[in-house]
Amino acid sequence: MKQLILTCVIFCCGIFGVLKAENLTSPDGNLSLDFRLLEDGTPVYSLQYKGRSVIKYSEMGFLIRPDYAFDKGFRKMFVRYAETDTVWHPVLGQYRDIRDHHKEMFVMLEQPSTGWKLNIRFRLFNDGLGFRYEFPVQESLRNFSLKEEMTEFRLTGDHKAFWLPGDYDTQEYPTTTSRLSEVVSLVDSVRLEPLAAKSFTPNLAVQTPLMMKSDDGLYINIHEAALVDYPAMQLNLDDKNFCLSSHLVPDKNGIKGFIQTGSVTPWRTVIVSDDARDILASNLILNLNEPCKLEDTSWIHPVKYVGVWWEYFTGQGSTWAYTKNQDIVIGKTDYTKEIPNGTHAANTAHVKEYIDFAAKHGFDAVLVEGWNEGWEANFAYVKEHIYSFTKPYPDFDVEELHRYAAEKGVKIIMHHETTSSVADYERQMEDAFRFMADNGYDAVKTGYVGPIIPRSEYHDGQWMVNHYLRVAKMAAKYKAMVNSHEAVRPTGLCRTYPNWIAQESARGTEFESFEGNRPDHTTILPFTRLMGGPMDYTPGIFEGDLSVYGPNKAQLSTTLVKQLALYVTMYSPLQMAADLYTNYEKYPDAFRFIKDVAVDWDNTYILEAEPGDYITIARKTKGKDEWFVGGITDENSREAEIDLSFLPEGKSYEAVIYADGKKADWRTNPKDYVISTRKVTSKTVLKQRLAPSGGVAVSIRPLSR
């Protein structure tokens, strides 16, 4: 990776115990940060954008167990300033070149009463702030555990917020949009189930990424970057003072993190702009992550895939399990002696049909869920050992499928559903990845449904945060890419471990087959969940009337064309065409877009955006003169304005426009679409009507002569 250090100015001012504010401005001067110690030695910071307050003076520090205040009584030892301007290139991404231009302020503090030291590193970019705590190695403080991190974000008013309820185990919620002052009264009613450990959660309000908009039009996003060996940060809310404060996810004994000095916390991030498009264009979280740690990345590649998947959700009887015998004991039951249930979907012949379809239409891979022993008891996730990750069911011929897929130029994607029996998964992990390498698999979808075993852990606590990274590292050893479902939400670690290609960690398409998603769902996710990294949202559902599969099935929350547009608006280098392939065969002209659309990009242009309302994005395919545009809207119809000035000047291109038909409406007529072709140039501005919960998708290529 080529790094270009343009400037690096370092000067120090050894200030001892002076209570004056230290100031830092962003490279463009729009953001300004103040740091100071209060009279009692409490560290505080504040943030302004174009002269307007974003974060009022907010406290920093920790409570160390059992009860040591490590958030006051400090004196300032040393402050150092620096500026860095570099360009780096992600292995897979929305941009080929990413500029990391920031100014830095590094503050060394000491607590004279204990002799303990704490450093804080601030980085100010043009698009926001990152800061983290650093625990230097020191004689009198070596290992300690946290009662809480005391970081505050004191906001200036009752902002509109797009939030998920605080929950240590899941992000699979619809987003609630409300004023901050309404959160506390709503939070218990939107939470899935009462939190097991109520005693740890009296003020727990929301999760991050938290997207907000102030009444005077500032867009503010709070999240974290580089979550490594530390619990996820959720947020308490004091709604009288609009003060958010860190709430680390504990283990079940209430311990919020084990620290050994010589380590750093994740970065706390505040992305700010008066233009919502800048939030989506921000690379601040990636910039705060470490450069790629894998020496060889040649085996990491974008993946467009189909899968033995939606048939499990449409209720037509396909099962992950091979038999009906729920008393299976893994390792003891001989499956060849069991009676097959006749509905097991991951059988060799059926998987070959998917491979044929993938090969015919140019997909890279086929996901196969339900291939391995143990699914009979997957409801009973209290059991310690419920799946084998190396033993296929008798009707799934690993070797033959490896041969068949290779012959057709298609990969099979491995599936490791752990049902959160994580200790057991770790026992099997190396064997599981070796098994993958031996059988031609280069990608795995992992899953963590249900409560974590060992049972003193939560999905978002420090132990599990470490587990997900252990999996990514083990996968890298065997040259495998990872797509984790039900894991802690991402924080930009895909820069450091680019084989961690995507995650779910939010409410994906699967919920369309349960109680449904809301029409505004995907107009919010890029401002929240996707801030930390790509999502395996699994778009591409063409049959929007799910009642064709039987009673109790909801209506899909979008038009068919909006499903196409999601391939562009929901960035991921791993994208599924999730519908039953028989549905694609019915609409070959619309399916063309899914076949054509790229998943790895040279450049991205955020054309229109307002959280909760609409998003229009254009992207240039990596290494090709080819662009794709996706526009989506919430439940309201609108006209998207697609300004093609990102195209090179003086050339003509052919645009294929996939638009909602005149009668399209997600509730009544989702499959009404019109495809048209026209000549466009960099001067063209397309005006496209989007139906209620509709969209527009456009592919642009040079005119064939």
Q: Is 451 in the site for ligand NOJ (CB under 6 A)?
A: no
Q: In angstroms, what is the minimal distance from the CB of 319 to ligand NOJ?
A: 12
Residues between 601 and 660 with contacts to ligand NOJ, criterion CB under 6 A:
none
634 binds, among ligand NOJ, Ca ion, none (CB under 5 to 8 A by kind): none
Residue 602: contacted member of Ca ion, ligand NOJ, none (CB under 5 to 8 Å, by partner type): none
Angle between helices 588-596 and 560-569 (to 10 degrees): 0
Range 506-545, binding ligand NOJ (CB under 6 A) = 510
Nearer to ligand NOJ, 447 or 695 (CB): 447
Q: How many residues does the chain have?
A: 705
Q: Which does 104 bind (CB under 5 to 8 A by kind): Ca ion, ligand NOJ, none?
A: none
Partner touching 457 among ligand NOJ, Ca ion, none, CB below 5 to 8 Å by kind: none
Contacted entry of Ca ion, ligand NOJ, none for residue 417, CB cut-off 5 to 8 Å set by kind: ligand NOJ
Nearer to ligand NOJ, 45 or 320 (CB): 320
Q: Which does 369 bind (CB under 5 to 8 A by kind): ligand NOJ, Ca ion, none?
A: ligand NOJ
Residue nearer to Ca ion on the CB measure, 485 or 521:
485
Q: Distance between CA atoms of 73 and 377, rounded to whole angstroms?
A: 55
Binding partner of residue 168 among Ca ion, ligand NOJ, none, CB under 5 to 8 Å per kind?
Answer: none
Q: Which residue is nearest to ligand NOJ (CB)?
A: 417
Question: In angstroms, what is the minimal distance from the CB of 309 to ligand NOJ?
Answer: 6
Residue type, 209: P
Number of chain positions touching ligand NOJ (CB under 6 A): 8
Pick the closer one to Ca ion by CB: 485 or 622.
485
Query: 277 or 485: whose CB is closer to Ca ion?
Result: 485
Residue among 32 and 483 whose Cβ is closer to ligand NOJ: 483
Q: Contact, 564 vs 594, CB < 8 A?
A: yes
Among 22, 127, 369, 424, binds ligand NOJ (CB under 6 A): 369
Whose Cβ is closer to Ca ion: residue 103's or residue 553's? 553
- Which residue do the tokens 């185990």 mark? 169
Pick the catalytic residue: 486, 510, 543, 608?
510
Whether 183 and 163 have beta carbons less than 8 Å apart is answered as yes
Q: How far apart are CA 415 and CA 281, in angstroms?
A: 32
Q: Which residues bind Ca ion (CB under 5 A)?
A: 485
Q: How far is the CB of 584 from ligand NOJ (least distance, A)?
A: 19
Contact between 373 and ligand NOJ per CB under 6 A: no
User: Tokens 């000095």 sit at which residue?
Assistant: 261
**Minimum CB–partner distance for residue 510 and Ca ion (Å):** 6
> What is d(CA 213, CA 455) in angstroms, rounded to the nearest whole number?
38
**Do 176 and 521 meet the contact criterion of CB atoms below 8 Å apart?**
no
Q: Is 73 left (phi over 0), alpha (psi -120 to 50) or beta?
A: left
DSSP conformation letters of 66-134: TTEEESSS-EEEEEEEEEEEEEE--SSSS-S-EEEEEEEEEEEEEETTTTEEEEEEEEEETTEEEEEEE
- Give the residue with the Cβ less far from ligand NOJ, 510 or 543: 510
Establish if 504 lies at the interface with ligand NOJ (CB under 6 A). Answer: yes
Options 447, 461, 573, 611; binder of ligand NOJ; rule CB under 6 A: 447
**Does 61 contact ligand NOJ by CB under 6 A?**
no
Alpha carbon of residue 492 to chain centroid? 8
Cβ 513 to ligand NOJ, closest distance in Å? 11
| 401: phi then psi, degrees, rounded to nearest 5 | -70, -35
Strands 443-447, 481-484: pairing kind:
parallel
CA distance 357 to 498: 28
| Residue 551 preceded by cis peptide, ω within 30 | no
Q: How far is the CB of 79 from Ca ion (least distance, A)?
A: 45
Which residues, other chains included, contact 143 with Cβ-Cβ below 8 Å and sequence gap of 6+? 258, 259, 260, 261
With a CB cutoff of 8 Å and minimum separation 6, the contacts of 464 are 422, 448, 452, 457, 458, 487, 488
Phi, psi torsion values for 430, nearest 5 degrees: -65, -40
| Three-state DSSP class for residue 639 | strand
Q: Compute the least distance from the CB of residue 224 to ligand NOJ, in Å.
A: 23
Residue 288 Cα distances to 131, 210, 269, 493, 501, angstroms: 9, 18, 9, 10, 18
169: contact with ligand NOJ by CB under 6 A: no
295 assigned to active site: no
Smallest distance from ligand NOJ to CB 369, Å: 5
Render 178-239 in DSSP notation, one character per residue.
EEHHHHHHHHHHHSSS--TTGGG-TTEEE-SSEEEE-TTS-EEEEEEE---SSPPEEEEEET
Q: How far is the CB of 497 from ligand NOJ (least distance, A)?
A: 21
Per-residue x/- track, 301-340, ligand NOJ (CB under 6 A): --------x-------------------------------
Amino acid at 166: G
C-alpha span between 364 and 359 (Å, rounded): 8
Which residue number, 120 or 303, has a Cβ lying nearer to ligand NOJ? Answer: 303
SS3 call for 153: strand
Cβ proximity to ligand NOJ, 186 vs 449, nearer residue = 449
For Ca ion, give the closer residue by CB, 55 or 506.
506
For position 485 contacting ligand NOJ by CB under 6 A, the verdict is: yes
Helix crossing, 398-407 with 348-361: angle to 10°?
20
Residue 167: which of ligand NOJ, Ca ion, none does it interact with, CB under 5 to 8 A by kind? none
Q: Choose the contact partner of 148 out of Ca ion, ligand NOJ, none; CB within 5 to 8 A by kind.
A: none
Q: For residue 101, what are the β-bridge partners?
A: 85
- The pair phi, psi for residue 555, each rounded to 5°, is -85, 135
- Give 483 or 616: the residue with its C-beta nearer to ligand NOJ: 483
Least distance from C-beta 548 to ligand NOJ, angstroms?
21
Q: At what angle do helices 462-477 and 422-438 cross, to 10 degrees?
A: 10
Minimum separation from the CB atom of position 521 to Ca ion (A): 14
Binding ligand NOJ (rule: CB under 6 A), the pick from 197, 281, 359, 449 is 449
Query: Which residue has its beta carbon closest to Ca ion?
Result: 485
Bridge partner residues of 179 (DSSP): 160
- The CB-of-209 to ligand NOJ minimum distance in angstroms stands at 20
User: Which positions are catalytic?
Assistant: 510
Question: What does the binding site for ligand NOJ look like in residue numbers (CB under 6 A)?
Answer: 309, 369, 417, 447, 449, 485, 504, 510
